[in-house]
Amino acid sequence: MHELSIATAIIERAGELARADGTDAVAAVTVRVGELAGVVPDALGFAFEVARGGTALAAARLVVEQVPAQAYCGPCAEEFPVGMPPFFWCPRCDHPSAELRRGRELEITGIEPVPAST
């Protein structure tokens, strides 16, 4: 399950970003995961829960934003979903697409610090 190594990398990077912002604890991490990134969101969530123990993200939740795969057809300028399994033929003009516009993302897009006690 490579999601465990991905979760570990997310935890390490989110911890670094939090420390750079002067925060010791993280409440949530938001990640964008593309449909064709080769990551199973449920498995990533489980791996995140396992790997976060003993870190600045020990109580953090993982928020996964799923990004559908979209291709672009140059001949007719159509952007279309490729689905799973991916199908790169333009539904409008029946030409193959060589340009994937979205769907391979795997990135941290936000970190929510634990609110400071008053």
Which tens digit of pLDDT belongs to each residue from 15-68? 999 999 888 889 999 999 999 999 999 999 999 999 999 998 999 999 999 999
DSSP output for 48-75: HHHHTTTSTTTT-EEEEEEE--EEEETT
Per-residue confidence (pLDDT) for residue 117, from 0 to 100: 67
Per-residue pLDDT averaged across 86-99, rounded?
A: 93
Per-residue confidence (pLDDT) for residue 118, from 0 to 100: 53
* pLDDT over 60 at 9, yes or no: yes
pLDDT digits (tens, 9 = 90+) for 99-112: 999 999 999 999 99
Give the residue from 93, 61, 57, 55 showing the smallest Cα distance to 74: 93
Q: Which residues pair with 99 in a beta bridge?
A: 72
**Beta-carbon contacts of residue 88 (< 8 Å; ≥ 6 apart):** 71, 82, 96, 97, 98, 100
Per-residue confidence (pLDDT) for residue 6, from 0 to 100: 97
Question: How far apart are the C-alpha atoms of 21 and 51, rounded to whole Å?
Answer: 22
